[in-house]
Amino acid sequence: MTESPDGGSERVPSRDRRRFPGISSRSYEHPADRSALVALRKLSGFDTVFKTLSGLLPERSLRLLFLSDSVRVSDRQFTHLNDMLRDACHILDLEKVPPMYVNQDPQPNAMCIGLDEPIIVVTTGLVELLDEEEMRAVIGHEVGHALSGHAVYRTLLLFLTKFALRVAWIPLGNVAVMAIVTALREWFRKSELSADRAGLLVGQDVQASMRGLMKLAGGNHLHEMNVDAFLEQAEEYESGGDLRDSVLKILNVLPRSHPFTTVRAAELKKWAASRDFQRIMDGHYPRRDEDKDTSVSDSFRDSASHYADSVRNSKDPLMGLVRDIAGGAGDLGGKLRDTVFRGGSRPGDSGGDAGGADGANGPGGSGPAGK
């Protein structure tokens, strides 16, 4: 708390942030991140592609590209970003500070890539969009990726996404490569939830983290936006609609490398209010020197428990159907029919709002559903 000019007090993020010596990435990794990575590694053909591409990826070329055509952050260039980067590495106790570059691109974005050593890249669009505390959370997010070892798989995803057509010579064929791309995207979406948590540990200002995510969705118009209303969107997204909407949500997210921003904000807000986060802030967290003794089966159990809780507590209609199946619902067919046609007419019924909308946008119609 600091004294304001009118004699009152206002909340200003402290420059003396808590540090986490020896912290293990297990402290902040989302259970879905760990389980998705395990599933990715078990994907048929992944080891072959990984070993092949690890020797072929032009990492040196990538580093030279950023060195030659971007601005390297240092104590002489983008000094405020350099201070944030060093501060983030200090807080998460990352011994070697990764090189960081600012790349000219109006699209707000940041990434941590590299096979041998991570490189952090932020775009000018992101630098211009965020204020200091929001940017601090983003840099902490990328340092979290580096500490978790995500850069290797992010680099593979970047390469395979951009050059999938050029790797048709791989014995697995293009179909298998695209299956691996899909699995990589699924893992990376989960890894973003982990890195958001790392960003909060670095910035230690949940409102700044929320604002940053909100700006990624709606641009630099804070005077027109509200964090609580933004989180209400996430609630509506998670619980609204019927089974058709549940399927559309899955289809919408499949081609994306990042989760939707409202979902990220809701997940981070939930973690910030959890006992796990408070224990870390109090200095009670897993250490890196304990990683070698970590039980793989314990990690599996944690992931399974997380997914079970997600299904049990989810308001999504599809998850409700999964609960009914697990609980042995008697009239499952009727339940499915009622869920799909809730709020609209069933086949054979006359009239109804949903039926009218479907008719307007059906074959030959001019509405969105006909496109």
Under 8 Å CB-to-CB from 142, ≥6 apart: which residues? 110, 111, 112, 120, 122, 195
* Structure tokens belonging to residue 249: 């949500």
Beta bridge partners of 177: none
* Structure tokens belonging to residue 26: 């297990």
123, 109 in Cβ contact below 8 A? yes
53, 159 in Cβ contact below 8 A? yes
Q: Kindly report the CA angle at 80 between 74 and 81, in degrees rounded to 5?
A: 65
Q: Which long-range contacts (CB under 8 A, 24 or more apart) does 247-253 make?
A: 247/318, 249/316, 253/189
Residue 69 and residue 123: Cα distance in Å, rounded? 12
Which amino acid, 223?
H
Q: Which of 182, 183, 194 is nearest to 41 (CA)?
A: 183
Residue 371 and residue 367: Cα distance in Å, rounded? 7
Q: Which residues are catalytic?
A: 142
Helix (H) or strand (E) holding 10: strand 9-10
What's the maximum distance between 2 C-alpha atoms anywhere in the chain? 73
